[in-house]
């Protein structure tokens, strides 16, 4: 396996400031998405089918934002890009606090979806510039921060929703202001990094970005496909599983408790992975372990009829989420040339976004025609098929892969 370390001797953004940015933005974002369906349906009296369209548009905006910002990261100075993204997100949330009727809420949600993809891709892309720590460690810590933000945000929103919807939007906007100020003062080293990166990319008069070699490209496409398929199935935990559990006589508040378990296991697992970065032999082994856990979790759902068994399924699912999801962007980073790291981090977000956008629709169609048990088997088999795709491919290509550090 060839290695091209590509080390850039330059000051870099401290990891702690990326963590602060992730926490602030994910807590703020978690004030919005959990209440959207309830707020639109119960207070604005929007139909569930229309809410589905609204959420799809939000995901579509996220995908477009990811593509554009990833491309721009590779060509432009990332510092103003991230400032514009965080600043505009804060402005939109303040506007949501003042105007949250219909249809303006829909418009704001599309814009926040776009900016969420924009900011998320830029943060992941900036994370690739950190050389002080291994990429695996950086992405594990960032994933930990995201989920800690989700846990905190969803916990707070449950208490504040009945008090004031306007206050929720103001607090969310204020958190993005904090992220914006953090970026202004602490993300400036990325300017020098960008200049040296451009000098390295165009060294010797070269004007074109270095293309990704074929083995790397084939491996990243396998990762993107796996990520999209896994999210396609995973999203049904957030949509159709609640209906299934309630139909079995399990109270809705116990379904909500599963997500507390999910967030708790993610936080614990990320802490373990951060403390023991060599728990897995390499990133590929970590990804395979995670995808296998995803498949097993859907098999266990076939036999789940009470809360304990659903909790067991969620625990197994979360083992998969907490290991595979941060490892894939870390491996993609290793496979991406210096001149196109933003592009491929953007594609990572796009693959996730496509799965999230179409997951509930796909699951609903299968469940309507064949039932929940059939869907669980289909999900388990299709996810397992990704293992069948990746393992032989990696065995054939791993000696030909070029690793960029």
**The pLDDT of residue 48:** 60
Residue span(s) of the chain under CATH 1.20.1250.20 come to 12-204, 214-404
Residue 9 structure tokens: 């001797």
Does the domain formed by 214-404 have CATH 3.20.20.370? no
Residue 321 has pLDDT above 60, yes or no: yes
CA-to-CA distance for 364 and 30, rounded, in angstroms?
A: 25
**The pLDDT of residue 404:** 82
**The pLDDT of residue 111:** 93
Instruction: For the domain covering 12-204, report its CATH number.
Output: 1.20.1250.20
CA-to-CA distance for 371 and 379, rounded, in angstroms?
A: 13
C-alpha torsion sign, points 219, 222, 228, 232: negative
CA-to-CA distance for 339 and 386, rounded, in angstroms?
A: 29
pLDDT digits (tens, 9 = 90+) for 62-114: 889 988 998 898 888 999 999 999 999 999 999 998 888 888 989 998 999 89
**The pLDDT of residue 34:** 63
Contact 67, 345 (CB under 8 A): no
pLDDT digits (tens, 9 = 90+) for 119-169: 988 998 888 888 888 777 888 888 888 878 877 877 777 677 777 788 888
Q: Is the pTM of this model over 0.85?
A: no
Contact 71, 343 (CB under 8 A): yes
Query: What DSSP state is assigned to residue 42?
Result: I
- Quote the distance between the C-alpha of residue 27 and its chain's center: 14
pLDDT digits (tens, 9 = 90+) for 148-161: 887 787 777 767 77
Closest CA to 379 of 359, 403, 399: 359
Q: Could you tell me the pLDDT band of residue 5, with boundaries at 50, 70 and 90? A: very low
């Amino acid at each position: 396996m060839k290695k091209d370390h590509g080390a850039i001797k330059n000051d870099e953004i401290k990891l702690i400031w990326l963590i602060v940015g992730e926490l602030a933005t994910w807590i703020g974002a978690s004030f919005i998405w959990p209440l959207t369906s309830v707020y639109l349906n119960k207070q604005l009296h929007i139909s569930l089918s229309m809410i589905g369209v609204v959420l799809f548009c939000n995901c579509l905006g996220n995908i477009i934002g990811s593509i554009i910002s990833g491309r721009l990261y590779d060509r432009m100075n990332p510092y103003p890009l991230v400032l514009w993204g965080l600043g505009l997100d804060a402005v939109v949330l303040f506007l949501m606090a003042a105007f949250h009727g219909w249809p303006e809420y829909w418009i704001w949600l599309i814009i926040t979806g776009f900016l969420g993809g924009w900011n998320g891709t830029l943060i992941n892309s900036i994370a690739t510039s950190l050389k002080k720590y291994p990429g695996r460690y950086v992405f594990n810590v960032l994933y930990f921060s995201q989920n800690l933000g989700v846990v905190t945000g969803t916990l707070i929103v449950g208490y504040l929703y009945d008090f004031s919807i306007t206050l929720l939007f103001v607090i969310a906007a204020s958190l993005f202001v904090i992220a914006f100020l953090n970026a202004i003062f602490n993300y400036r080293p990325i300017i020098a990094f960008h200049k040296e990166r451009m000098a390295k990319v165009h060294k010797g008069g070269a004007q074109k970005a270095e293309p990704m070699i074929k083995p790397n490209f084939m491996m990243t496409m396998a990762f993107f496909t796996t990520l999209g398929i896994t999210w396609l199935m995973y999203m049904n935990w957030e949509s159709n599983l609640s209906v299934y559990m309630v139909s079995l006589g399990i109270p809705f508040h116990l379904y909500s408790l599963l997500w507390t378990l999910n967030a708790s296991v993610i936080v614990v697992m990320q802490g373990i992975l951060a403390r023991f970065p060599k728990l897995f032999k390499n990133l590929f082994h970590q990804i395979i372990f995670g995808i296998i856990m995803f498949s097993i979790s859907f098999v266990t759902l076939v036999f789940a009829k009470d809360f304990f068994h659903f909790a067991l399924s969620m625990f197994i699912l979360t083992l998969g989420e907490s290991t595979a999801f941060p490892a894939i962007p870390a491996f993609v980073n290793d496979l991406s040339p210096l001149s196109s790291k933003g592009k491929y981090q953007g594609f990572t977000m796009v693959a996730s976004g496509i799965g999230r956008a179409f997951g509930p629709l796909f699951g609903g169609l299968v469940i309507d025609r064949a039932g929940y048990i059939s869907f669980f088997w289909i999900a388990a088999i299709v996810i397992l098929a990704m293992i069948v795709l990746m393992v032989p491919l990696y065995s054939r290509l791993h000696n030909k892969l070029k690793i960029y550090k």
